[in-house]
Amino acid sequence: MPDNHQEALDYHSLGRPGKIEVVPTKPTSTQRDLALAYSPGVAVPCLEIEKNPESVYKYTAKGNLVAVISNGTAVLGLGNIGPEASKPVMEGKGLLFKIFADIDVFDIEINQTNVDDFVKTVKAISPTFGGINLEDIKAPECFEIERRLKEELKIPVMHDDQHGTAIISGAAVINALELAGKKIDEVRFVVNGAGASAISCTALFVSLGAKLENIVMLDSTGVIRHDRENLDINKVRFATRRDIHTLEEALVNADLFVGLSKGNILNGDHIRSMAADPIVFAMANPDPEITYEEAVAARPDIIMATGRSDYPNQVNNVIGFPFIFRGALDVRATQINEAMKLAAVHAIAQLAKAPVPEIVNLAYNQKNITFGREYIIPKPLDPRLIYTVAPAVAKAAISSGVAQKPITNWEAYENELKKRLGLDNKLIRVITSKAKQNPKRVVFADADTYKILKTAQVVREEGIAIPILLGNKVKIQRLIEEHSLRISDITVIDPREENQTLEEFGRIFLRRESVVVIPSTKPKNHAGAELLWC
């Protein structure tokens, strides 16, 4: 909850109430425009769609329209608050779809808790939409609702509370295990919680290679054991046969704790009992199972993630769902299948290892975000997510046979994704593309500053140019080590050590005439760069 409740109420109520609106995408300023938009002109596309129902994607907004649907039975940390009270959350979800992936949303709150009636209602309205995002529906009903809708509809359906958290935490697990030097098929998992998110997360870990015999799951009554009676079908799969009966016992020598339960149930002693390099994902909101401060104090070798934005490694579903639906919609996938989810997992994990753009450093007020224990998953405001995750999902949809509109030109698709969010500056893209075709040596003056070194790293890694660093060698090397920059092999020239070259250039300058020093006829500088003096 925000500290200032009135501020939150004012945000939602002042001006136009709520957070989203519908805006026209075609001209509406003249009578002719209106005649085309509605009667009589609208009859023409109606008849075309009647002849060919698939052309609805050509003549309407269906292909870019997702329904965010809830019955309000499991809203955030608020519980069963009902459909009306869930509407601010669903509007917020629609806002995130739009600002992160340019997907339009109608939020739909259904006053129905019966599974059959809920499914019937969603099926009845499904012709309007290109995809269905189920949200905040309690377990175990949510499992059956999603299963049936996926079977009975030919558009992407995903319950984000299950798969969104699973996909992001799956990427985090891959990278955390790499940093800890552990193999997923040998890792001992403890999963505290057995709701929709916990079940889906654990199932995804198994898909990534975790062994069922190495998993201990707990619900509100304790360890889920094979000899417990009345286990529902979703819990039976993860029932352990090990002689473990409490959370404390489960944590001893465990490698990885996944918390999707309630706050403040762990303490420092629990963390200290875990194996070397423990991985702790305390994802209960708003209060994690253990505070970041207490966990780090207990184990300096810990790799920790939470659901909070004020600590490193936030497991935030916005890293996944907008771009998963973007990729699914763009190839007109009939479903979001396991292959597409795993593609998203691996794309997110790989992105965390790539150099972070300066715009992300600035957004999070950090100097140099780099892959490591405090950065195992990308930041939600990373602009690369849309053109990294969406294409990976789209490719998986095509290769798994569920795409009805395959993409063939992936470079054009990536540019289209950048354009959707205003990421394309045509002049810069043209210049950059041309530079990559024949990279030139470029001298970076004042290279003994962090910003110049960071720029040189990006320029080199993106293949735009071959940097040459000009500056104090000792200071440059110190900055490279301090910020873990990957440019130790770039040529460095320290002007103070180049007396002969300085004297030669000084004589040229003092001639007071325009000269061109051509490498084929005049002495080169140490890097062989062409030098132009005017």
HEC assignment per residue over 258-274: EECCCCCCCCHHHHHCC
394: CATH: 3.40.50.720
**Whether residues 141 and 232 fall in one domain:** no
Helix (H, G, I), strand (E, B) or coil at 76: coil
Query: 505-521, pLDDT tens digit by residue?
Result: 778 777 755 545 455 44
**Whether residues 340 and 406 fall in one domain:** yes
Asked which of 134, 155, 176 is the last residue of a domain, the reply is: 155
Measure CA of the first residue to CA of the last residue in the chain; give whole Å: 62
The structure tokens listed for 405 are 């509109």
CA 59 centroid distance within chain: 31
Residues in contact with 499: Cβ distance below 8 Å, sequence separation at least 6, in sequence order: none
Helices 385-399 and 321-330, packing angle to 10 deg: 50
Helix (H) or strand (E) holding 127: none
**Amino acid 425: pLDDT:** 56
Position 267 in a domain: yes
**Residue numbers of the domain that contains 519:** 498-534
Q: Is 274 exposed, middle or buried (0-12, 13-18, 19+ CB in 10 A)?
A: buried
Q: What pTM did the predictor assign?
A: 0.82
Sheet containing strand 465-470, strands side by side: 440-444, 465-470, 492-493
Active-site residue numbers?
A: 38, 93
**Whether residues 369 and 469 fall in one domain:** no
**Whether residues 270 and 235 fall in one domain:** yes
Looking at the structure of the chain, the number of domains it has is 5
Query: 94-134, pLDDT tens digit by residue?
Result: 999 999 999 999 999 999 999 999 999 999 999 999 999 99
Helix (H, G, I), strand (E, B) or coil at 23: coil
463: CATH: 3.40.50.10950
Q: Which residues of the chain have pLDDT under 50?
A: 515, 517, 520-534
Helix (H, G, I), strand (E, B) or coil at 282: strand
**Whether residues 76 and 118 fall in one domain:** yes
**Amino acid 3: pLDDT:** 54
**Whether residues 187 and 302 fall in one domain:** yes
**Whether residues 194 and 277 fall in one domain:** yes
**Whether residues 300 and 229 fall in one domain:** yes
Position 133 in a domain: yes
Position 181 in a domain: yes
10: CATH: 3.40.50.10380
- Cα–Cα distances in Å, from 21 out to 18, 24, 89? 8, 10, 15
Helix (H) or strand (E) holding 361: helix 358-363
**Amino acid 527: pLDDT:** 45
**Whether residues 21 and 135 fall in one domain:** yes
Q: How many CB atoms lie within 10 A of CB 439?
A: 15
**Amino acid 98: pLDDT:** 94
**Whether residues 279 and 352 fall in one domain:** no
